[in-house]
């Protein structure tokens, strides 16, 4: 059997595939809103391995599979042999003989790469410490719905150089937008990620400088899952990095605000911003469903030789 197409980072798609996927996500959303039943994955099963908590990712993948006529199985380390030390390679070989695609949320990115090497079916990254590509599908779809093509526009990332920031770096290259990252010293994106970034990506210290005239302001929590014990230290380091009304005022008057959620009001974002008129976080959360349906359709149909 040929090797399956995986989605471990955004660049597992070509820029052209990504653009088509986003268009398809909007079509699937419209179809769903119109009450159209479309079940291309009848009888197909998605395995969902969660080693970290989730609300949006679990519900969007599970709902997407049900809407497509398929089924999803939630697998947590507490109740699977993977959590008791069964090798990743063995788990991948076994699970992929039974289900049609596997979604994984875990810590080390290397673990999902290893899993994918031994999987006979597509593997989807539902967040690792390194990347969160599914969230970028939703963010890009949301931007397009509100403002059209993101090409040539400016995005300001305010906060930690984390998994979301790394995914924004990849998105900027693929979708041709400018990305200004404002982060405190010591919390920059990984050097390897920055090295791959083109001239369109810049790193600054001042959130107001990053936000100036930008079209989209994005932030994320100061302490990601797995960094809970660093919370106090990080709260100190990031204290000047809240997305406030002043930061929004530095951007274009019609700039949007996004956050992958869950959010901490009063830490990385002011309540007046996330609950304000420029915030599109609820559309962004909903679009996890539609964009991941487009992803599942693409990966499972590539596997079935239909694309
Ligand atoms: N944004 C996101 O991935 O949310 P969950 O952690 O709730 O899945
Ligand atoms: N950076 C955050 C994103 C949560 C969706 C984390 O990894 O916890």
- Which helix (H) or strand (E) is 219 found in, with range? strand 216-219
Q: What letter does residue 296 receive in the DSSP assignment?
A: H
Q: Report CA(34)–ligand 2 centroid distance (Å).
A: 33
Q: For the CA atoms of the chain, what is the radius of gyration?
A: 19
Q: Does domain 135-282 have CATH number 3.40.50.620?
A: no
Atom of ligand 1 nearest to the CA of 225: 6
Q: Can you give the pTM of this predicted structure?
A: 0.97
CB 221 near ligand 2, within 6 Å: yes
**119 alpha carbon, distance to own chain's centre:** 22
CB 288 near ligand 1, within 6 Å: no
Atom of ligand 2 nearest to the CA of 160: 1
Please compute the mean of the pLDDT values over residues 19-27 and round it to a whole number: 98
| pLDDT higher than threshold 70 for residue 307 | no
CB 55 near ligand 1, within 6 Å: yes
List pLDDT tens digits, range 240-256.
999 999 999 999 999 99
User: Can you spell out the DSSP letters for 68-83?
Assistant: TT-EEEEE-TTTSGGG
Atom of ligand 2 nearest to the CA of 52: 8
Token pair recorded at residue 134: 């599914």
List pLDDT tens digits, range 214-250.
999 999 999 999 999 999 999 999 999 999 999 999 9
| pLDDT higher than threshold 60 for residue 306 | no
Q: Report CA(55)–ligand 1 centroid distance (Å).
A: 6
**Using 50, 70 and 90 to split pLDDT, how confident is the model at 266?**
very high
Same fold, 10-131+286-303 and 135-282: yes
- Tell me, what's the pLDDT at 1? 52
List pLDDT tens digits, range 110-127.
999 999 999 999 999 999
**Using 50, 70 and 90 to split pLDDT, how confident is the model at 305?**
low
Fold of 10-131+286-303: Rossmann fold (3.40.50)
**Using 50, 70 and 90 to split pLDDT, how confident is the model at 197?**
confident
Q: Report CA(199)–ligand 1 centroid distance (Å).
A: 30
Instruction: Domain ranges for the chain, please list them.
Output: 10-131+286-303, 135-282
| pLDDT higher than threshold 90 for residue 301 | no
44's CB contacts (< 8 A; 6+ apart) are 65, 68, 69, 70, 71, 100, 101, 300
H helices of the chain, in order, are 15-33, 56-67, 88-95, 109-118, 133-147, 163-175, 191-196, 207-211, 231-237, 245-250, 271-274, 281-303
- Tell me, what's the pLDDT at 31? 98
Give the residue numbers marked as catalytic: 105, 132, 135, 220, 260, 288
Token pair recorded at residue 2: 């040929």
Please compute the mean of the pLDDT values over residues 261-271 and round it to a whole number: 98
| pLDDT higher than threshold 90 for residue 166 | yes
Order the strands of the 256-259 sheet from edge to edge: 201-204, 178-182, 154-158, 216-219, 256-259
Q: How far is the C-alpha of 121 from the C-alpha of 123, rounded, in Å? A: 6
Mean pLDDT of the chain: 96
């Amino acid at each position: 059997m040929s090797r399956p197409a995986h989605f471990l980072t955004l660049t597992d798609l070509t820029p052209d595939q990504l653009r088509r996927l986003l268009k398809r996500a909007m079509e699937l959303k419209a179809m769903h809103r119109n009450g159209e039943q479309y079940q291309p994955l009848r009888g197909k099963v998605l395995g969902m391995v969660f080693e970290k908590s989730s609300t949006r990712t679990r519900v969007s993948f599970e709902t997407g599979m049900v809407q497509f006529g398929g089924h999803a199985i939630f697998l947590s380390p507490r109740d699977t042999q993977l959590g008791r030390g069964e090798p990743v390679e063995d788990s991948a070989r076994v699970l992929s003989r039974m289900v049609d695609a596997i979604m994984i949320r875990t810590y080390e990115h290397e673990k999902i790469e290893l899993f994918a090497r031994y999987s006979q079916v597509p593997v989807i990254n539902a967040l690792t410490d390194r990347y969160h590509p599914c969230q970028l599908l939703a963010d890009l779809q949301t931007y397009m719905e509100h403002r059209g093509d993101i090409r040539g526009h400016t995005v300001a990332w305010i906060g930690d150089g984390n998994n979301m920031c790394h995914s924004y770096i990849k998105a900027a290259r693929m979708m041709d937008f400018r990305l200004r990252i404002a982060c405190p010293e010591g919390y920059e994106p990984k050097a390897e990620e920055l090295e791959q970034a083109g001239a369109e990506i810049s790193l600054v210290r001042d959130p107001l400088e990053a936000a100036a005239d930008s079209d989209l302001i994005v932030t994320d929590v100061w302490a990601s899952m797995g960094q809970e014990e660093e919370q106090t230290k990080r709260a100190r380091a990031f204290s000047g990095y809240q997305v406030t009304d002043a930061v929004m005022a530095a951007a274009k008057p019609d700039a949007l605000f996004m956050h992958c959620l869950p959010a901490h009001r009063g830490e990385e974002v002011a309540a007046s911003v996330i609950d304000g008129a420029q915030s599109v976080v609820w559309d962004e959360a909903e679009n996890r469903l539609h964009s991941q349906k487009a992803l599942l359709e693409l990966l499972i149909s590539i596997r079935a030789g239909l694309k």
